[in-house]
Every structure is written in C-alpha cells, then in structure tokens.
Structure 1
C-alpha cells in the first residue's frame, strides 16, 4: 500500500515527470495535492499500469485531488538548459499552476532544486511509494502521451504513436531516412552512434 504523505500535517504536493529519455517532444511534469486521508488501492507507478488503467486513473485523480496541474518544457528549452534542468523546470511550472498552494513538495527521483521557500524531499522510486507522486506520474505520462499522439499525426513516419518519442530502432531508422523534425532534441545523440552525425543546419 502506498503511503499518504511524507510531511505530516502539511499540504503536500507530489511531483513526477515523463519523457526525460525521449529523442523528441517536450518533457511533461505534474504536481498533485491529494486529500490528507486519501486512499486509492489502484494507484501505482504509471510504468506498472496498462494504458487503459492509466487513463481511467487520470479521471479519478482529477476528480479526487485537492489540486493538480501539468507543466511543460519544450525541446528548444531542453536543448538550451539540458534535460535535468528542464525536468525540474517542468515540475516548478506544474507547482506554479496549482490552484492550492502547497506547504511542502515530494519529488520522484534524486534531483530537484528548491521550490520557493518550501521544504522538499526527493524519493527514489517515489512513484511506487507515495500516492501523490504516483498520481503525478500518471498525469504526466498520459498528458505527454496525448501530446505525442497529436504529433504522430503530423509526422507518422517516426512511429511516435507507439514509441512516444523514445529511442526505438524504428524511430532512429526514420531519423536516418527522413532527418529530424522541429520537435527533435538536437542536443541528444539522435542516432545512438558516435560515428554518425546529423547536420542540423542553422
């Protein structure tokens, strides 16, 4: 059973991101504040859930949460500030957008920059330990999937409907054949090799 909160007695927001390892598309993050006594046995790390389950849980989370929000950082910003900083910025943007001000923040992973003057804690595999982080992982993943599915309609050759921008063989083969889109992260090793380099132009 996932725990309800880390900071006893404080209004706590859980944060997680999706899309860090992708070659294309924005990185998404979510922040979720759940009621103090909230329980939902179905909530878990989004990677452990089927797509259908994630979307069903998204509806429950949005209905039950005290507040929730999603933050986005674009491929251009990722190239400029690097993916670690971009992931943290996406979480800060999600926290900024919450309709209720949190008093503390818990974050999946091991890297975070303080948000305003709030106490914060990073928790490795937090999306499998705390309800609010699990809820954030589901929102970040499903909203990013929606976004990548939309891009897939414009650029079907990259198979984004299936790979969501992650570095699959089919995705990399398409980059070799068709080049890159405005949504590819130019600072990434897009072909997965040291020998081959793309001429990105200006």
Structure 2
C-alpha cells in the first residue's frame, strides 16, 4: 500500500485514519470496511504480491515473503520513492530504498494499511479455495492450524494448497495410515 506524498501532506482523510489499524486488532468486518476505504481513497495505491506453495517449499517462508513483497511493489502503478516494511528485513532488489520497522503494523499507517490489505486478500482467497475443497473449514479458519483444520487434514489428507513441508502438516502425515498422506486435490 502506497500513500501519495500529497495525501500525507494534506493529511490522511479522517475517515480513513479512523478505520486503519493493525489488522490483528480488527474484526473481519472492520478489516473489510478499512480495505474498501483504502481502495476508494484517491492517492492510495495498492499492489498485491504472493508466493506459491511450491515457491515456499523451494526457497523457505522468509524468502517467499520477501519475494511476495517485491512482487507487490512491482505491481504498483509506479515505483514508490521509499518503502516501509513490517519486520526486520527489506526485500533485496527493490526499485527504491526502504526501511524495516519491527512491529510496524502497530506503529505506521501505511504498514497497518498493508497488513489489512494482505489479510483481506488472503482471507478471500482462502474462502474461494474452501468452495473448491470443502471439508477443511477454510471459510472459517483461513488455513490456520485450528483443531478442525487439523482433524480435516488427518481425515482427508492435504491438498496441493497445503504446505506439506510445514511442521503441522508433516506431523499429521507421519501419523496417517500408509498412503493416505498424498496430494488429494488438483
């Protein structure tokens, strides 16, 4: 999420500032409202980046996260002049300088906005996957290792959307009957 410097000079619209907060502190409904407010605010640009399960397995979750950040920046209408990143690392090979901010989603409006966009986009993607792969409760658990998701994994096995190298999935596969822990969906 990029704020045009003119937006910041004028002051972030009060309605937007009132709804943007660390995504973990907001309800799903509040995140959806904030997401729509961000999308409809002039001077706010949004770039979405993701990494596939295959990429995560090949390069690890940290490198895949940095790759997704680079992709998000590349999908902006124009390269930003500077980026702030939540965490302790700025992705290499960005078209501009950047600064990492630990706990940034609770400290910086643009990082909080990005965390809202990321959470809403991911939750919507998980809902769409739940429509194709029923039984895992993704429409409720968004893919997190909740008790119902773990039970479904044990009963149904993983899909190609599960990270089979991830500890929880790998552990469940170790205890599954022989031959049951394979990719069951395409």
Shorter-chain TM-score category? 0.7 to 0.9
Q: When you count helix as a share of all residues, which structure comes out higher?
A: 2
- Unpaired runs of 5+ residues, structure 1, are 1-30
d(CA) in 2 for partners of 1:196 and 1:118?
45
d(CA) in 2 for partners of 1:126 and 1:47?
12
Asked if structure 1 preserves the Cα contact closer than 8 Å seen for 2:70 and 2:94, the reply is no
| Residues 11-160 of structure 1: pairs in structure 2 closer than 5 A | 31-34=1-4, 35-37=7-9, 38-39=11-12, 40-64=17-41, 65-116=43-94, 118-160=96-138
Answer 1 or 2: higher relative contact order, Cα 8 Å, separation at least 6: 1
TM-superposition CA deviations, 1:133-191 (whole Å, max 9, x none) = 11111111101111100111112211101110011111111111111101111221234
Q: TM-score, normalised by structure 2?
A: 0.84
Asked if structure 2 preserves the Cα contact closer than 8 Å seen for 1:44 and 1:131, the reply is yes
d(CA) in 2 for partners of 1:126 and 1:46?
11
- Report the secondary structure of 1:69's partner residue: coil
d(CA) in 1 for partners of 2:164 and 2:83?
32
d(CA) in 2 for partners of 1:197 and 1:50?
35
d(CA) in 2 for partners of 1:117 and 1:71?
15
| RMSD over equivalenced CA pairs, Å | 2.0
1:62/1:115 CA distance change after superposition, 3 Å = farther
- Count, aligned residues: 171
